[in-house]
Each structure stands twice: as structure tokens, then as C-alpha cells.
Structure 1
Amino acid sequence: MDPAAAVVFGRPSGVDGAFSPIGAARVAVGEVRSAPPTPEALVSAFGRPAGDTSLLQRPPGSREPLDGADAALWAGESDPWRDPAAGAVIGPPALAKDDDADADEDTKAGPLLSLSDVLFGRRVKPLALGVLGLVALLIGAAGGFVGWLVARGGDALTSDVTLARTEVGKERPAGSVSDIAKRVRPAVVSIEVKIAQGGGTGSGVVIDGSGYIVTNWHVVTLEGRADASAKITTVFTDGTRAEAQLVGTDPKTDLAVIKVKVTNPTVLRFGDSNELQVGDSVLAIGSPLGLTDTVTEGIVSALHRPVVAGGDNGEAPITYDAIQTDAAVNQGNSGGPLVDSTGALVGINSAIRSSAGNTGSVGLGFAIPSNDAKRIAEAIIRDGSVKHADMGANVKSVSAETAEGAQVVNVTDGGAAAKAGLAEGDVIRKVGDRQVRNAAELTVAVRQYQPGQTVPVVLARQGRELTIQVTLQSD
């Protein structure tokens, strides 16, 4: 051991135990600092009396009472809490149990607990209980609402949904079918014709701001059955009804003009039917089968298709150079417009070709070209009637290896053909620039000209091809 540590912490010289015996002389161990002496005031107040050598705690088992008044605190008692000589152990209760008192306490009813004491262990204010009840009510209502939403969401057939919407007009650019139909439909009318024996319906198109409407001859005359007493009524797309007056007709081309008294009608402008090409888009608008304001779309299927209809009871047949289209055209479309992709009038729908046993559309519809309709309508409005160019010859269709066209059956005395030198048996193959392949095509080729015009006619006679000049007359 370090000598310095031994001096500080070792036993003093002559001491064998942990504590030095009483009365042993103190040994100096160097400069060891100790606590300062107790103040005189504390010694006087809490110290032992002079000459008193008693200890604070007496040895266990000692029961000698103290002298003086202090002996009365535990004299004759065995209370360890009051007896300074008692051992440091926990003993019986300080006071003996009173059996009678305990019996009374067991039978005495204690104070009853309120609901707030049971629920919260303490008393609360009524206002706090009311607020708590309101909060519980709101939580319950919210839970019920959430449950209702979950229940509805679980139904696979019904639910609250918001469907997506497209932008209005996104698929309707200028020039689209819907755009053309929107501009053209107000100029199209339904026509109702009533006579004593019945009636019929068709379509028409307004061509002038004065109320002139062009339609088919067979619509306003019920194919010749109607007379001057027939009642003609027009119905516009907005529901306006107006009675119409017959201005004039052209039975040979199946055209007619009527007039109504309306204010500021929508007028459809004429287009150039000569500019059409096969495959161009067209729209047919009218009242097929009584279904007013109907629009169908198609293309130009063919051009310069001669159409012949009627001719019963000795009457002149209807013949015109038609525009063929696959736009759906049915009974009731007659007289309605055929318009091109700009919305211009290029034809007046007039007839359809149907298969055996089928009177509906099979994709073969025919319209009178707008150039012919414009010329004839102007003549009707101006003169009340129409004059067509005529050759003065009766012909029939022929097709042979040597010649194909319209063969002359006979000529009218004093007619254009007779004056030009046409003879029976001649086969007319061309009029002007128009190829003639049958009798109907000869008629439409001649009607392209005005009475009085001179046109070159190419014909085959006895195996030779001749060209003669024919000055057309009026029919």
C-alpha cells in the first residue's frame, strides 16, 4: 500500500478494531480537517443536560420508566409507537378493534352513487353531460350516414355516378353533315295534298324569298288525279303551316312550282349540277313515309342516267337526265332537295328503283339535276308553262353489232327531223356532244337545247355514218 494512503486511510497506531476504544488517546494523522464545533446555541437547546449519560434508545427488553412527566406517555402501556424502548418492528394496531362499532358500520347504509359517479368516478356538471350527449348524437348520425353510403355503394346495379360529357360541337366542324343539315332543313317543307277521293304527301324546297317552292309534278297532282279543287298545304320544319297555290307544272320532267305566303323564309341556293362527279357526297332531305324533316346521306352513284316513268293512258312519259344516288330515298322524299357537301341544291329527288315485291329504298334513287330544275322553274314562274326542244320523230332503242342508239320509227310531217332529212330506219347515235344509246337518252339529249337551236346529229344509215344539221322545234 502506498505509504501516503496508509497514513490517510489506515488504522491509527495501537488500534486493532474498527473503532478505537473509549478514552484512547488520539493519534495525529496529519492535517485532517473535521467539521467545525457545534454552535453554543444548538448545544444549549438540543444537547444533553450536564452530567447526563443516558442514550436516546435503550437496549431492547428494557422497560424501566423514565423519571419525571415523560413517564406518563407510556406508563402501563405496550404501544410500540409510544414506547421508546420498543423494538423497530411493526406490531399490532395502535388501538384495539371495537367489535360493536364494526357491527354498526356494517349495518349502516352508505351514500348512493350517481350515474356520473359510476360512469366517470366523480361528479360532473349537467351542462357537460348535455354537451357529451350532443357529441355522441352527432357521431352516431355521421356513422349512420357513412353506413348508408357504403350500403348504396355495395349495390352492383344502382349507384350515384357522374357520367363523362363531351364538349358540345366537337364533332360538328363547318362542312360536316350536321352543319349542312342545320342550314338546309329550314328551307325544306312537307307537302300535303287533299282531294275528294283521298290525298298524298311529299316534299318541296323553297327557292325564292317570295315563297316559291319547287317540287314534283306527281306530288301536287297525285300523278294527274288532282284537279283545280285540290287543297295543297305546306308544313315547315318549325311547324308553321301555310296553304299553297299551284303556279304551274311540267309533266314531261316531273316538276312543279307552288307558292306560299310566308315572311322571310329560308331559301336554298342552286348549285351547278354539271360540276358533280361520281363519288361526291350528297344529302337527301324530305319526309319519307310521312317522317318529316328526315336527312339521309350518300354519294353520287352515277350521272346522266336517263329515267322514264309514267306514259300511261296515252300521256307523254316522264323523262329526265337523272342523278343516281345511294342516299336512302323513299316514298315521300319526292320533291325534296338533294344537296352537295356545300349545302347547295344539286337535284330534286323524284324516283326510286325497287326490286320485285319491295317498294322501299334499295339504294337506287334518282334526282332531277338542279340545272334543269332551275331552268324549268324559272320558265314556270315567268310563263306558267314550259316549252321543250323537240326533233319530231318517234324512235325505239336498238342494240346491234352494226349500230346502237335510237332508231327512227317515223317522223312527224313538217317536224324538225323531216325538214333535216331523217328517214325511217335511221339510227341516231349522237346529238351534239351527247352519246345516244337508247330512245330515252335521245329525248334528254335533245331537251338540253332550246327550241330554234341547230345541233349536229350523227346517225347510221345503211351501214354508213352521216352527220346532219337539225334545227329543233318546240313540243
Structure 2
Amino acid sequence: MHAPRPTSAQAGAFGRPEQVAGSFAGDRPPPAPRPVPPPPPEALLRAFGPPAPGRSGLQEPPGGRPGRRRTATGPWWKADARVDPWRDPSSPAGLGAPAVYDDEDSQPGPVVFDPRGRRKVRLRDLSVRLTTLVVLGLLVVGILGGGVGWYLTRTADEAPLFTPGTTLAQVEPRGTGERSPVSDIAEAVIPAVVSIEVRVGQAGATGSGVVIDGENGYIVTNNHVISGADGVEGAEIRAVFSDGSGSAARIVGRDPASDLAVIKVEKPGLVTAELGRSGDVVVGDPVVAIGSPLGLAGTVTSGIVSALDRPVRLSGEGTDTNAVISAVQTDAPINPGNSGGALVDASGALVGINTAIASTGAGGSIGLGFAIPVDTMKRIVEQLIATGSAVHATLGVNARSVTDGTRDGALVLNVEPGSPASQAGIREEDVIIAVDETPVGSSEELSVAVDARQPGDVVTVELVRGGSSRTVEVTLGAA
């Protein structure tokens, strides 16, 4: 098979020029001569030069090789001296095969030394046989120790469970031996405080009450305690006294506007609570609360008067109570069931009827309890005992609390037609800011200020209308 002939184009591009006979042009410049290194110094030739002809290995030391001696300490008497490079520098040298171990795990590891040059013994340096012996020894010791402990616990005698004739020592009183004032107060007042049990069908409730007229069997309590039984057929109200005896009770009268009520029992010889005066109570006075919180009759707690004339709105919690009271605030613990119970001062005189608590939602005491002042209680109860109902002064407006950032007041939402406010010219959207020069900062304060008066009293009401203030005189009505 012959190669194809090149085309004229290929021959022109890759062919040999006609004037060139060989592979390369004849006028190609010759290569540059290589530099010849200078000979080594004579000293290097004598030290490192090749040995004389017929000799191998290193050169002879200066002065020639010493004669061979066959002594006990000399190496040249042994048969392998000529092949030992450490004995004969001129002997041949070579590498042997690597060491072979039967077990890969038995290969020796690196030797470790401590800073003082002593060899460290590690667990992996120990043999398998020694390690097995150590482990077996530990197991035997553990089994023996556990067996001995179990045997001792099984055979040891137990201490006797009972010790006849045992007496416990008591220390002598460290105090003066005087009784606490609260003890004297509780002893005097507890007989005048009763537990009130209300049953309507299958439902029941408990509260507290205070005997205010032991001769006639009158007991004051809160309206929301007994209102659910009023007018309900088959409902029962029962008063339970401190000696454990009980008596059925009847409703004398109740007042949802003040959350007060009076019941009557047919039981002679009741202990009557002594009534104090609201004007004698000051903030910081010690007080004692007595009642039946959570159904626990005769419970006594103590504290102080935290504030006076605190406007508090009472919702009634499912009853018809709708009241705003000017309360005595106390930090004596009060809980559900204390309602209607006594709040007494350091002399044991009644200064309030426990009515409400402030709570964070759990329903328990957080140190904010409220009581109806004794003067208010006396005024309402006397009306209930006399007529079965109570009369309150009224202005005839509905209001809510407002503020403009600098002044608070009660915004009039609506005015009842023909009411005292309507007759005095009070209009809707007026803001009442004072009653008889007593500042009014909320709708609750307005209710308290009006309720403190009697029907027919003439009061001066200051209000703001259209950005300017004015005063009007109002003759309070009755409700």
C-alpha cells in the first residue's frame, strides 16, 4: 500500500526547498561549546578522591591501616568480621527484610518517657494475659464484697419500732407571758360573728354576718350573700354561731345599692358587736378581720387600715348588687366567705363590714380588702330594720370617668328626664369636676359624693362645658 502523493499546496507548505539537500540548512550555526569545570582542589582530591587501583571502600587512614590483632576485645578474630560494616569499613553493606510478627496486635508500640526520664507504663503496653487476670481479680473482689454486705443486712437485728415511755422535752416560754392583743379581740368578738349558709335547690353558698342586735336577733351581712334566696320557694338561710349551734334565718331587708342586708333569727341571748365610729379610724390603725373564709368559721386575720374613702364599684357577681362604696381599705387577709364579716379596731369595736377583695384572677387575697364603713352600715341598717328598704340621694345622671391629661372628671352620658340634674340645667357631655368643692375625678367618686348626702340636700355642682367651667345648684332627689 502506497501513501498518496501530496498535493501541490501541501508540497509548497511542507516540502524541502530545492536548494537544500539535507534535513537542515547548511548555514545553521554550530552549538556553543560547553564550559569545562575547573579541577577540584588538591585537599579535596586527597580526602574524597577514589582509592588507588585495586582497592575498594574508604581510603586508608594516614600512616596506613594498623595491623590486624586477634585479641579477645578486638573484632577481627570473628568469622563474620569481613561482612560486618561496623567492623570493616570496606565490607559490603545491604538491607535485610523487615521484622515479621505473628500477631499484629503484639507489635511493640513506642516507648513513652516522663519528664524525669522514667518510662511510663500504659494499659495497652500490658499483655492480654495480665490484663485478663486484673479484670478477673476485680470481679472476684466485687462479688465477695456484695455477698458480705447482703449477708450482714439479712442477719443484723432490726431496731424496735416502738419505745414505751418516750417523752418529748418542752422549753419554757421566752416571752413575758402576756397575751397578744389580737387574742383578746378574737375572744371578745368571735361570739358576735356568725357563718351564713344559703341553699337554693341543689346549689349552696356561704358567707359571714355580724350580730348587731342580740336582743331581737338582727344580723347584718352583704346583699350578695343572701340575695339569691330572696323570694325563691324552698330556699333556706341558716345562721351558725361560734358555739356550733344554728338557727334558721329570714330576710328583713336588703339594699343592692349599698350591698347591705339584714336577716333575723329567733335565738335569744346573742352576743352583740360593739359599734365604733368611722371618724375615729385613721390610716395605719391595726384592725382584725373575723369571718368564715372558704367556709372556715371563726377565722381571724389581722392587718392595718391601708386607706380610707376608697371608691370601689361592686358588681355583685351574679346578684342584683350594683353599688359604689366609699370603702375602708385593709391589708388584713380577706377571702371569699369573709363577705359580711366583721372588721374591728384594736379595742374590738366594729369599724366596717368586709365586702370585697382585689384579686389578680386566682380569687385569693393579695393584701387589698375593702369594707363598708360602720357609719354607712348603721345608716342603711336602721332603715332596713324600720321599713325593709333604704333610701339614697340621687342626682339623676349616668356618667363615666374621663380625663384630658391635666384634669379628671365624670362625663355625663345622659340625664334622666325630670331628675334633679335636668331641673338644674345639667346637660349631656358636661364634665362634673366637683360637688360642694369636693373634687370629683371619676364616676365612682361622683356616686360616693352624692350618696354621702340625704335626699333633699342642696349641693353645688361644678362642671365644665364647652371649655369653660360653671357651677349649678342641685336639690338631690331620692332613689
Specify the TM-score bucket, using the shorter chain as the normaliser: 0.5 to 0.7
2:225 pairs with one of 215, 219, 229: 219
Deviation >3 Å, runs of 4+:
156-169, 311-316
- Count the aligned residue pairs: 316
In structure 2, relative to structure 1, the CA distance for the partners of 1:244 and 1:471 (3 Å cut) is same
Question: In the alignment, is the contact (CA less than 8 A) between 1:195 and 1:226 conserved in 2?
Answer: no
The aligned counterpart of 2:426 is 422
TM-score by length of 2: 0.62
1:172 pairs with one of 168, 175, 179: 179
SS at match of 1:191: strand
d(CA) in 2 for partners of 1:188, 1:197: 26
d(CA) in 2 for partners of 1:243, 1:159: 49
SS at match of 1:207: strand
Distance apart, 1:228 and its partner CA: 5.3
Counterpart of 1:170, as a letter, is: G
User: Are residues 1:338 and 2:343 paired?
Assistant: yes
d(CA) in 1 for partners of 2:202, 2:165: 57
Matches within 5 A, 1:34-53: none
In structure 2, relative to structure 1, the CA distance for the partners of 1:367 and 1:241 (3 Å cut) is same
The aligned counterpart of 2:369 is 365
Question: In the alignment, is the contact (CA less than 8 A) between 1:250 and 1:386 conserved in 2?
Answer: yes
Distance apart, 1:383 and its partner CA: 0.8
In structure 2, relative to structure 1, the CA distance for the partners of 1:226 and 1:400 (3 Å cut) is farther
The aligned counterpart of 1:111 is none
d(CA) in 2 for partners of 1:294, 1:316: 26
Distance apart, 1:363 and its partner CA: 0.9
**What is the root-mean-square deviation in Å for CA atoms of aligned residues?**
2.5
State the structure with more CA Rg: 1
The aligned counterpart of 1:198 is 203
Question: In the alignment, is the contact (CA less than 8 A) between 2:286 and 2:302 conserved in 1?
Answer: yes
The aligned counterpart of 2:48 is none
Distance apart, 1:225 and its partner CA: 8.0
d(CA) in 1 for partners of 2:319, 2:265: 33
Distance apart, 1:157 and its partner CA: 12
Distance apart, 1:364 and its partner CA: 1.0
d(CA) in 1 for partners of 2:318, 2:183: 44
The aligned counterpart of 1:385 is 389
The aligned counterpart of 1:412 is 416
Question: In the alignment, is the contact (CA less than 8 A) between 2:209 and 2:220 conserved in 1?
Answer: yes
d(CA) in 2 for partners of 1:317, 1:290: 25
d(CA) in 2 for partners of 1:216, 1:464: 42
Distance apart, 1:314 and its partner CA: 11
1:445 pairs with one of 446, 449, 463: 449
d(CA) in 1 for partners of 2:285, 2:363: 26
Counterpart of 1:287, as a letter, is: S
Counterpart of 1:417, as a letter, is: A
Counterpart of 2:392, as a letter, is: H
Question: In the alignment, is the contact (CA less than 8 A) between 1:402 and 1:463 conserved in 2?
Answer: no
Distance apart, 1:312 and its partner CA: 8.0
The aligned counterpart of 1:69 is none
Distance apart, 1:403 and its partner CA: 3.5
The aligned counterpart of 2:236 is 231
Matches within 5 A, 1:32-181: 163-166=170-173, 170-172=177-179, 176-181=181-186
The aligned counterpart of 1:305 is 310
d(CA) in 1 for partners of 2:238, 2:319: 30
User: Are residues 1:463 and 2:467 paired?
Assistant: yes
Question: In the alignment, is the contact (CA less than 8 A) between 1:221 and 1:227 conserved in 2?
Answer: no
- Deviation string, structure 1 residues 387-406 (Cα, Å, up to 9, x no partner): 11000011111011353111
d(CA) in 1 for partners of 2:472, 2:437: 14
The aligned counterpart of 1:48 is none
d(CA) in 2 for partners of 1:429, 1:419: 19
Question: In the alignment, is the contact (CA less than 8 A) between 1:215 and 1:336 conserved in 2?
Answer: yes
- Deviation string, structure 1 residues 94-115 (Cα, Å, up to 9, x no partner): xxxxxxxxxxxxxxxxxxxxxx
For structure 2, which runs of at least 5 residues remain unmatched after alignment?
1-162
User: Are residues 1:242 and 2:247 paired?
Assistant: yes
TM-score by length of 1: 0.63
SS at match of 2:456: coil
The aligned counterpart of 1:145 is none
- Deviation string, structure 1 residues 243-292 (Cα, Å, up to 9, x no partner): 11110100111110001111211101211113222111111100001111
The percent identity for this pair of structures is 50
Question: In the alignment, is the contact (CA less than 8 A) between 1:403 and 1:460 conserved in 2?
Answer: no
Distance apart, 1:162 and its partner CA: 6.1
The aligned counterpart of 1:288 is 293
Distance apart, 1:159 and its partner CA: 6.4
